[in-house]
Amino acid sequence: VGTLSGKVVLVTGASSGFGLGVAEALLARGAKVHAAARRLEPMRGLEAKGARLHAMDVTDDASVSEGVAQILAEDGRIDAVFNNAGYGAYGAIEAVAIDEVRRQFEVNLFGAGRVMQAVLPAMRAQGSGLIVNTASVVAHVPMPMLGWYAASKHALRAMSDAARLEVAPLGIRIVLIEPGAVKTGFDTVALDALDKTAHPAEYHALRKAFRNAMEGFYRNAPGPEATVAAVIAAMESEAPPRRYRTTADARWLPRVRALIGERLFDRLMMRVLK
């Protein structure tokens, strides 16, 4: 995208965490920001700084297509999208109800895909555009008690990697952001889901150990600054890399697993969760 001044950018999940931070950083650089989330109130500060707000639920076809149509009607183009809305439906594979699993995929995978399908026609017509999708380190590394969330991010990674090859010849770039644990609103939502999901007694010890480990990770986790900076760097770059691993754990966990092998990694993981 190059210099961001005057560029038209859609940010989903702009009411909290990475999305809110990226929207603020874009406004500071003079971009025309379209901030989207289900809740409008937490985005009033962005509006005061010049953002256009969209009440958008990424699980709803009409909500997404109307939002994108409004952007095109107002600004005539979309230069970049931070495709970021998402949450963690934590719990054991056996315990998370299939309806909740569907909702997980509806937001994290189909929601991101729905936004891509809505903006790609305009980007094709322009012959340019950038889409930054938000995966996670758990798209590479397995962990118990967050398997359905990890599955949604694995799927998002696969879908993004395929789309990247399809649209590159059209002048459109797709980039993946892969953070590890970062202090945003994410851990509260994910651990709440874990607590509210009824588990058979056989899982109680693992659930408790996992919860303690997560609380520890998040207590020591960095804030969203490095991840926000990576999204901005991708948007300012003429030739961004395929993926940005934005935290130390996102860089070392996949490397350690590749180095020591799955067997030993699984044992270490379960020792941490004893």
Ligand X SMILES: NC(=O)c1ccc[n+]([C@@H]2O[C@H](COP(=O)([O-])OP(=O)(O)OC[C@H]3O[C@@H](n4cnc5c(N)ncnc54)[C@H](OP(=O)(O)O)[C@@H]3O)[C@@H](O)[C@H]2O)c1
In the block, tokens 């210099």 appear at 3
**3-state class of 80 per DSSP?**
strand
Query: Is 149 an annotated catalytic residue?
Result: yes
- Find the shortest distance in angstroms from Cβ 234 to ligand X: 14
- Find the shortest distance in angstroms from Cβ 230 to ligand X: 12
**3-state class of 129 per DSSP?**
strand
Give exposure, 104-132, as e/b (b: 16+ Cβ within 10 Å). bbbbbbbbbbbbbebbbebbeeeebbbbb
Q: Which residue is nearest to ligand X (CB)?
A: 17
* Residue placing its CB nearer to ligand X in the complex, 13 or 113: 13
* Residue placing its CB nearer to ligand X in the complex, 4 or 58: 58
Q: Give the Cα separation of 161 and 91 in Å (integer).
A: 27
* Residue placing its CB nearer to ligand X in the complex, 184 or 197: 184
* Residue placing its CB nearer to ligand X in the complex, 1 or 214: 214
Q: At what angle do helices 186-196 and 204-219 cross, to 10 degrees?
A: 170
Question: By the criterion CB under 6 A, which residues form the site for ligand X?
Answer: 12-13, 15-19, 37-39, 56-59, 84-87, 107, 134, 136, 179, 181-182, 184-186, 189
DSSP character for 43?
G
- Find the shortest distance in angstroms from Cβ 185 to ligand X: 3
In the sheet with 8-12, reading across from the earlier edge strand, the strands are 52-55, 32-37, 8-12, 80-83, 129-134, 172-178, 243-245
- Find the shortest distance in angstroms from Cβ 43 to ligand X: 8
* Residue placing its CB nearer to ligand X in the complex, 8 or 10: 10
CA distances from 152 to 77, 100, 156 (A): 30, 12, 6
- Find the shortest distance in angstroms from Cβ 5 to ligand X: 25
Strand partners, 37: 55
* Catalytic residue from among 149, 203, 218, 244: 149
Catalytic residues: 149
